[in-house]
Chains A and B, each alone.
Chain A
Amino acid sequence: MKTTVGELASHVRSKNAGPFWITIDLFFPDTDTYRRASTSPIADTATIAARYSIDPAGIRIFLLPDLAAIKISFPRPTHQGSIHDRDMHAGQQYVPLLDVEIPSGVNKQQH
């Protein structure tokens, strides 16, 4: 059974949003998967803060149900192009989120 962001998302990407912010977009294939993800640890600032060793106060998470997408933005830990920056366009910085577990919704909605 598929349980991680990498397995469940149809597309994940990261990019600079200007030299001082990074933004990560997660697209899900359908509304049910999106709903599962939007109530899971991937939509929780604590998860993001732990994965990137950053201050949770700076993290912004946007839920976009119409697009079945979640957007995560935070100040770049190293400014774009500074001497300790590892990824000029921040194009690979989504990877630490791919193995975040999205629990199945099966036991959650017992009516």
Chain B
Amino acid sequence: MTPSQPSTSPDAVRVLVPVGMLGGGFPPATIDRGIALGADIIAVDGGSTDSGPHYLGTATAKTARGAVARDLRNILFAAKTAGIPVVVGSCGTSGTDAGVEWVHDIAAEIAAEVGIVLEVSRIYSEQSASQLEPLLVAGRIRPLAPARPLTAETLRSCRHIVGLMGHEPIADALAGGADLVLSGRATDTALIAALPLLRGLPAGPTWHAAKIAECGGLCTTNPRTGGVLLTIDDLGFTVEPLDADSACTPTSVAAHMMYENADPFRMREPAGTLDTRDATYTAIDDRRVRVEGSRFEPADVYTIKLEGSAAVGYQTIIISGIRDPDILAHIDEWCDRIINHIDQNAPETLGLAAADYDVQIRRYGHDAVLGAAEPEADRPPREVGIVFIATATDQATATQLAKFANPFLLHAPLEGQHTLPSFAFLGSPAEIERGPIHQFVLQHAVDVTTPQELFRTVDTKVGQ
């Protein structure tokens, strides 16, 4: 089959994705070029779970405020001038309500600064354990592999819970005339898919296009320069880079289905599953790729995936260095002696139960990164960076554990060694308090009656 040329039909929808993460930075020309090529909307993701559970647990952003402001400044004025809307997904890294407000405040500042008025829709996706518990009791929350069934106790342990919205609440806001949609947690693809689906384009090409573009320029031959423009039509989609020196090739585009996906052919969305097994990737010229044949299988039940982050305690660490070859030749024995000494003596000295704390030693330069999977663990290292980690139910106890461990980390000899060695501490104070530590505890999905059920939208105006 000969692929169709990129559509020039007025029914095609063009989505400009300037960068994979708001705050990541892109050349300002990216926006001008995308608008010149006919962009109907600018979509940019503001979050991910990839930086770990701290950001959801504390409802704070991992990105620098100034970097988010710089990117928004480059987007908002140009979009308003061109008369096209902007969607930001998963605001503030984890898409909590505080994250939506954080981006909203930045956008309001910029609107006032550049003298534009924007109709803003804020879509909140944060969930409370008390509202989810009746759904759990009703059997409407299911585990996703490899999780076990959810308990009310786990729900209640979460500091923050978000639901990943599909495209519908965003499409509703666009249909209502929003210039700027600031959404809480959404699937990375939903913000890109919202306008094409609102305009009636088919789900297969739309979701596939959205997945390809979700990381901006990562589907191009030069991932570090600018983003991409998608043109989605009735038969498929075309993707092209916005940097003049970059290119999309059938391989760079097809390979992106593998990125951060456990399954390279099938991807679950709230409304169903994208299936790309029969998709064809064809070069239109030396920088644009045409994709056709993507399918979307609607699910029997519409589901919203949950993410939740619970506090697990507080940490204090000590960083030290070892260069002595005799110690390094027996590094396992040296570490075991310290951990055993703490386990045998700290509970009584500090008044702790064994279950109330955790101590571990990471050996950077030896096996800190791979642990038991380290293939060269039998080779003595030349130098090792020691990170001692104490975790306890409160910060003071974690720090007391670190202080208790301090003299052993500084002076512990090997068995039978009669001199007292000293090792190279990073600085003074030796102990570094890391604050509260969180962990992801939800890998579950809620059966909902409507795509909007778990989300709340507030429409306001910013600027003057």
Contacts and interface: CB of A to CB of B under 8 A. Distances in A.
Interface of A: 15-21, 23, 25, 27, 51-53, 58, 60, 62, 64, 66-67, 69, 71, 73, 75, 79-84, 86-89, 92-93, 95-96, 99
Contact of A81 (B52, B147, B265, B360): B52
13 contacts: A16-B50, A16-B260, A19-B440, A21-B262, A25-B259, A62-B265, A69-B255, A80-B49, A83-B358, A84-B360, A87-B369, A92-B369, A93-B373
Contacts of A80: 49, 52-53, 440
Contacts of B50: 16, 89
Given A83-B437, A84-B360, A73 B263 contact: yes
A82 B438 CA distance: 7
A76 B437 CA distance: 19
Contacts of B263: 60, 62, 73
Nearest to B438: A81
A83 B258 contact: no
Contacts of B151: none
Contacts of A52: 373
A74 B312 CA distance: 25
Given A75-B146, A83-B439, A67 B255 contact: yes
Nearest to A75: B146
Given A64-B258, A66-B254, A93-B370, A88 B52 contact: yes
B14 interface: no
B368 interface: yes
Contacts of A86: 362, 368-371
B53 A19 contact: yes
Contacts of B371: 86
- A-B residue pairs, 6 tightest by C-beta: A81-B52, A75-B146, A73-B262, A17-B262, A19-B440, A81-B53
B251 A67 contact: yes
A10 to B, nearest CB: 11
B357 to A, nearest CB: 11
A97 B372 CA distance: 14
A22 to B, nearest CB: 9
A27 to B, nearest CB: 7
Contacts, number: 102
A79 B438 CA distance: 11
A72 B399 CA distance: 40
Contact of A18 (B49, B53, B370, B375): B49
Contacts of B52: 80-81, 88
B54 interface: yes
Contact of A27 (B54, B255, B391, B438): B255
Interface of B: 49-54, 145-147, 251, 254-255, 258-265, 307, 312-313, 315, 358, 360, 362, 368-375, 389, 391, 437-440, 443
Nearest to B389: A83
A19 B55 CA distance: 13
Contacts of A21: 146, 262
A111 B87 CA distance: 60
A71 to B, nearest CB: 5
A60 B88 CA distance: 33
Contact of B260 (A23, A58, A82): A23
B259 A83 contact: no
B259 A15 contact: yes
Nearest to B375: A96
A58 to B, nearest CB: 6
Contacts of B438: 81
Looking at B50, B262, B360, which has the most chain A CB atoms within 10 Å of its CB? B262
Given A18-B262, A88-B51, 14 more contacts: A18-B49, A18-B443, A20-B443, A23-B261, A53-B373, A60-B263, A62-B265, A67-B251, A73-B262, A81-B54, A84-B360, A92-B370, A95-B375, A96-B374
Nearest to B145: A75
Contact of A23 (B49, B262, B374, B391): B262
A37 to B, nearest CB: 15
Contacts of A73: 262-263
Given A53-B373, A80-B52, A71 B443 contact: no
Contacts of A16: 49-50, 260
A67 B265 CA distance: 13
Contacts of B255: 25, 27, 67, 69
Contacts of B251: 67
Contacts of B370: 86, 92-93, 95-96
Most chain-B Cβ atoms within 10 A of its Cβ — which of A53, A58, A67, A75?
A67
A97 to B, nearest CB: 9
Contacts of A17: 260-262
Contact of B440 (A60, A79, A95): A79
Nearest to A64: B264
Contacts of B312: 82-83
Contacts of A89: 50
Given A66-B254, A86-B362, A96-B375, A20 B368 contact: no
A19 B54 CA distance: 12
A67 B258 CA distance: 10
